[in-house]
Amino acid sequence: MSRLEKAPHIFGVRHLSPGGAFHLVKFLNEIKPTAVLVEGLSDTNAQIEYFTKKETKLPIAILAYTEELPVRTLLYPFSGYSPEYQALLWAKENGALAEFIDLPSDVFLALQSVREENPEKHLMPRGWIYSEWARIAGEEDHDTYWERDFEHNLNPDTYRKTSFEFGKSLREISADTPLEYAENLVREAFMRYRIQDVIKRGHQPDKIVVVTGAYHASVLGPEFEPMTEEEVRCLPRLKSSLTLMPYSYFRLSSQSGYGAGNHAPNYFEMMWECLQKGQFDDLPMIYLSKMAEILREKGTWRSSAEVIEGVRLSRTLAAMHGGSAPTLRDLRDAAMILLGYGDLAVIAEAAAKIEIGTAIGELPEGVSRTSIQDDFYRELKKLKLEKYKSNVAMDLELDLRENRRVKTEEAAFLDLNRSNFLHRLKVLGVSFASQQKGSQQAATWAERWVLRWTPEAEIQLVESTLRGETIELAGAFEFKQRLSQCERVHEAAAVIREACECGMEASMEEARKTLQRLAVDSGAFVEIAAAASELAMVISYGDIRKFEASHLIPLMQQLFLRGTLLLLDAAKCDNQAAKEVVHAVHKMNQVALEHYKEVDEALWIETLGELSDRDDRNPTLSGYACAILLERNIMSSEKLSQEVSRRLSPGIAADLGAGWFEGLSMRNRYALLARLSLWEQLSSYVHSLEDEEFKRALVFLRRAFGSFGPQEKRTIAENLGEIWGMNKDDASDLMSRELSDEEEQEIENLNEFDFGDI
């Protein structure tokens, strides 16, 4: 028998194809091969046993990465309906050899490095090929074309033959660059080398099934020469590592932007289950029934009759395209019309849940871990946090102060070390722990966290391997990356604070140098105030977090002084910019209050006083400065009365008078509520306005009173009632009653009023 007559069986697939997996399993049952060879990183063969363990829950992925900078990565995701995964599963269940036969990761990464260092331009985007195929077939996109012509074709052996021809045609009109084309030739020669190696080990060629991407299927036969041993030895390599990691359908769907992608993993899992059960025709009913169920749970009732009509419509849409069954696009269109009543927004959330899904993979014990995973689990044990590795959320209260009732230093600072560890995970984006807002406001030594372990957190942890071998090293790398991109002082200051919370003084010092450099040229008040605030917080941490903060004080003083000198210029702004300046003034004032011994508080108060008096600055900011002086007992009642009379006198433009009052009302409300004279002045001022000016004033007044609580509003109503000669309770009840239809219409008209550039 000639070499070509007795050849391995080549089965070309799309990498995430339920139809491909279905037909492949049938083909394997027919051929009963002794060896199943799969396109995939050949240095992953030692991990195949974990792919097929019953404890393994798909989706999972192979992650390969270089061990030296710059870090390069390869990611190969698998779902339960991946033909490659089903091939491995069949081999295990039938006692056949299973191996990956593509280039090993160190070669792949080296070739990737060559491609990145020698960028080339496509004559036209690669996606053009797929779009053109879809256009010729009369479909709107390639995914719909592939689903209708390949996934839905249940005729025996048709998938294998048509995907073979599809891949062959793809090669003929490929838009690959020369480097990409050359890389594919290298891969294919290597795969032929691996196939021949399996034959040399005693497997009959016709008892070998090769599962590969459709693009490669036509060139893996024995008529093409394999790579030689010498050529294999000459392949470029980069030192690399690889691991298996849990994956998620959400991440899988986000990687659908290439020819073998999958934008709706949960939908195709539903298809796979229907194919396995021999109930493919039930898929439209399952999809639309789940859609209606989710809508009902959200309070949008849809009947069974509408679901049935939706199924009928989807089949009609499929028939109009010459299809044997509805595609996902047909089903979504039918759902929008029958369940969304023509509005895509009605079904959008439900469609995402059904099509993308929330599945997250799991791996069994014994899978080789990355170094950062080992470090993570060591730290969990060391910090007595192992019980928190649970899918049930648990609270953790931390007291960062030294515990003097214990004998060892490790126990004395247990909570501080826990805090450092959790903050490092936070910096890396590992969602194991989330810090509860407001916990730091009570005391610098108290923190409250909620801890919950999920496979998604494991994914994030594994991905952090690319930044360092331990949690601390990965955190340091992340800080270094952020500092290299810093362009503003507050960004560098934020890194100082976060590095402080992580207990990483070397990163703090790097960030301090970056901040010092940026501060030389910075002239933005809002950014400088934010930076001064961050440093003030870090300095307050000093004793609690056990680091020397004195070297940060001169930098804080420098920033505070510059911010003080810039305030008046910053206050010459429009109302939109004033919102940010208000927050910045608050931060500067907090620094002055908490660190009055270190900063020039007297100059700050003097500057606030000048801003309060100025008529040529934003009135909201002048009012806010006035409120701070009043709160600090620096402004007397007489001075306030003079200022109120001046700012809220007849003839003052609405945006000036009401804007000033808005700023004044942002602080110390109890002091304002107690001053009846202020409300008399405000009442007289509003009464003096013409209709158009009154409408303009309402913009500021509604904003000012919008954040007042119910009791505060009641007190205002009582004050105004007293001013207007009404009973206090009657005035309060009048203010709190529901608006009439006419009044509602007036408010609606007010919302449409053109306020110009306010």
Q: Could you identify the residue written with the tokens 């007293």?
A: 722
Q: What is the spatial order of strands in the sheet that 73-78 belongs to?
A: 73-78, 60-66, 240-246
Structure tokens at 193: 């080398």
**pLDDT at position 14:** 93
Alpha carbon distance 275, 265 (integer Å):
15
What's the longest Cα–Cα distance across the chain?
113
Alpha carbon distance 758, 422 (integer Å):
44
User: Dihedral of CA 378/383/386/389: which sign?
Assistant: negative
Secondary-structure breakdown of the chain: helix, strand, coil percentages, each rounded to the nearest 5: 60, 10, 30
**pLDDT at position 703:** 66
Listed residue (189, 220, 233) closest to 181, CA to CA: 189
Which stretches in the chain have pLDDT values below 50? 1-3, 122-123, 256-260, 439-441, 753-758
Alpha carbon distance 73, 235 (integer Å):
18
Structure tokens at 443: 């005391």
CB of 734 closer than 8 Å to CB of 752 = no
Residue-wise DSSP of 716-741:
HHHHHHHHTT--HHHHHHHHHSPPPH
Structure tokens at 249: 């359908």
Please count the residues of the chain. 758
Structure tokens at 412: 């004395």
SS3 at position 36: strand
CB of 719 closer than 8 Å to CB of 673 = yes
Kindly list the domain boundaries of the chain, sorted by start residue. Answer: 9-245, 265-355, 371-467, 618-758
Alpha carbon distance 307, 434 (integer Å):
41
**pLDDT at position 731:** 62
CB of 629 closer than 8 Å to CB of 605 = yes
CB of 97 closer than 8 Å to CB of 198 = yes
User: Dihedral of CA 208/212/217/222: which sign?
Assistant: negative
User: Which residues partner with 66 through β-bridges?
Assistant: 240
**pLDDT at position 443:** 67
Rounded CA Rg of the chain: 34
CA angle 417, 418, 419 (to 5 degrees): 90
